[in-house]
Amino acid sequence: MMKHMGQLHSQYFNKRYGRTGSLWEGRFRSCLVQSEGYVLACYRYIELNPVRASMVIHPGDYPWSSYRNNALGEAATQLITPYSEYLRLGDSAEERQKLYAGLFGSTADNERLEEIRAATNGGYALGDELFRRTMSRALGRRVDKGKPGRPLRDAAPGDSQEELPLPPTENVVCP
């Protein structure tokens, strides 16, 4: 019964939006994100996706976005939990909303956009050099794109000259 309903829904959706194939086709992608300096860039990236896809003209027009909550103070729901970086934007809700909306007024930072895409598609950590080295040591594996060729014989993942402490940081997954 559920399989049949899913098939009917897929057929309806594909016909309505001129698509083909499974609704959930493609690989799930994510990356580890350093809170400071990167989370709000990911918010902007995610909430501008419907605009880049020409689904809407403004991120506030997309009904399944947190933009209206974060920038306009609308549609507050328990499903949207403000992230600490968002809360640090200002002391009052109005101040945070104004500053958050201002993030969307600037032109696209193509370098940051490509950095987010590369990290997400490659499963790499998105953050500064210290964050990436620290996460590499903590996880015991590479968290960034390596150099082409074979690794050095004695090098362990994330090896560097000095021992790095783990900084207190919140991390999120950026789809």
Residue spans of the domains in the chain: they are 32-145+158-173
Neighbours of 158 (CB within 10 A): 19
**Tokens 């594909």, located at residue:** 14
Which of 83, 44, 48 is closest to 62 using CA atoms? 48
Q: What is the C-alpha to C-alpha distance for residues 39 and 172, in angstroms, rounded to an integer?
A: 8
Q: What is the C-alpha to C-alpha distance for residues 74 and 77, in angstroms, rounded to an integer?
A: 9
Average pLDDT over residues 19-48: 84
pLDDT at residue number 125: 93
Q: Hey, which bits of 6-138 come out as E strands?
A: 32-34
pTM of the model: 0.68
pLDDT at residue number 134: 93
**Tokens 């950026």, located at residue:** 174
- Report whether pLDDT(107) > 70: no
Tell me the pLDDT tens digit for each residue of 52-72. 899 999 999 998 889 999 999
